Structure 1
């Protein structure tokens, strides 16, 4: 678990000169950051104990979110400061709209979720809040604000994916493949690049801009917790007003 820290990045560096900007973002997001990465729902995916109805509920919400996530990455591609950055983000967008989409369709079929259900599904309140934060940060905010949101989401999934990949794979293919998608080398490299990108840009931001990035990361962490909790219980929790 990351140690909670409420101060500025400058203060964080004073306490630990070798710390990364992304370490500060995670520390500023506690306890939400650790609560999201260690949520019981993610552990149940790994040991195969997640109920089918809970996982179907989760996949439907995630499926409604894919289009907004793709749009978010599109905004970041447009705002990225270098061609190398645009290329890395574009590659992830291509993966998101091909391999992951195929996974959803096969999983829905196995779980008995009809196309008319997932195609017509409306976003629940937590997913809608997720989408609004991502689209606003990436579309209207600075590149670093949108990047902080994307980093939080993907780094969280890598963290629990690598942890659950240490267990024997669940029998259900849709659980085993979901773990693998978030533990494979390619995904690790992409999240590693996201951290490097944030680490290279964050220290040069003004204190006010650094704070905006930290707020985005913290809000995303709180929403990740709420997203998993909604899938697990079937009831959306009350969202923090100012996470």
Structure 2
């Protein structure tokens, strides 16, 4: 068992709860109300700055040119495809520019952003990978529940979010990320424990973030 699988198994309760979350169920069957999708996307968009910086740090910290090039390609795709989805969805959902840039943040959004920035500040390749891996792998898992594209919701604001996290290129990226994480597994016990703690906290916050998307009180 690799390091990634070991840490995922340690956080299985939170991981499985996130992947099978009621928010995900409603997104996958197209029944998610616009109000809740809007709340989720506005909050999720606030991670784009820190996530982009994490990808940039991965480019800087990776041990080889081939690894740097993988992160550089993903960074370019994130800046185009995913950002386009956010902007198109915001337009459709009537989100004003001010709310896109500086909304009231849920507590979980603040916590998750802080975790990303803490990992970024360490400039530790394993720490950076731990956050990236949870974010990408867990999303790949829930999106993988969608089945064949013919069964996806009709509305693009649901279907496109699924497609962005369920396609051959994305699945290959997640597999590569897992292998890369396994390859840099720390040998020193204290560092290994620190990376494991980052991974576990990221999983916990992914679950909490879906909880917050269904709870208007989370933003008060």
CA-CA distance at 1:122 after TM superposition = 4.3
Superimposed CA distance per residue, residues 4-42 of structure 1 (whole angstroms, 9 cap, x where no aligned partner): xxxxxxxxxxxxxxx121110101223111111221111
Give the match for residue 196 of structure 1: 179
SS at match of 1:97: helix
Q: Which runs of 4+ in 1 moved over 6 A?
A: none
Q: Secondary structure at the match of 1:170?
A: coil
Relative to total residues, which structure has the larger helix share, 1 or 2?
Answer: 2
Partner of 2:29: 47
Q: 1:180 aligns with which of 160, 163, 169?
A: 163
For 1:221 and 1:46, locate their aligned partners in 2 and report how far apart those are by CA, in whole Å. Answer: 20
Which TM-score applies when normalising by structure 2? 0.93
Which residue of the partner structure matches residue 76 of structure 1? 58
Q: How many residues align?
A: 218
Give yes or no for the alignment of 1:171 onto 2:181: no
Aligned to 2:74: 92
Change (3 A) 1:123 1:95: farther
Structure 2 SS opposite 1:131: helix
Q: Structure 1 length as normaliser, TM-score?
A: 0.85
In structure 1, stretches of 5+ residues that fail to align are 1-18, 238-243
Q: Within 1, Cα distance between the matches of 2:190 and 2:86?
A: 40
Indicate whether 1:236 and 2:218 are aligned. yes
Paired residue for 2:124? Answer: 142
Task: Determine whether 1:222 maps to 2:198.
Answer: no
Matched position secondary structure for 1:235: helix
* Residue number in structure 1 paired with 2:192: 210
